[in-house]
Amino acid sequence: MEDYIDFDEFYSNIKDKSNIEITTALDTLSNEFNLVKNEVISLTHKLDSIEDMYGKLLKEYNSRNNYG
C-alpha cells in the first residue's frame, strides 16, 4: 500500500517539493483515480442491474394486479 500523503499540506508548499516527491504524489493520485474510477464503473453496473430487476418485478406485480 502506498504511503499516505496529506495532499492539503502537500499543495500548500508544492514549490518546495522535490521532483521525486512530486512524482510520488502523481503516482499516488493516478492509482487512487483508477481505483475510484473502477469502483464507479462497478457500482454503475450494479445500479443498472438493480434497475432492470426492479422493472421486471414491477411489471409482473402490475400484471398480477391488473394495473397494466
pTM for the model stands at 0.71
Q: What would you report as the CA-atom Rg of the chain, rounded to the nearest whole angstrom?
A: 23
Q: What is the pLDDT of residue 68?
A: 64
Q: Per-residue pLDDT tens for 16-51?
A: 999 999 999 999 999 999 999 999 999 999 999 999
Q: Are 21 and 3 in contact (CB under 8 A)?
A: no
Quote the CA–CA distance of 67 and 53 in Å, as a whole number: 18
Q: What is the pLDDT of residue 3?
A: 61
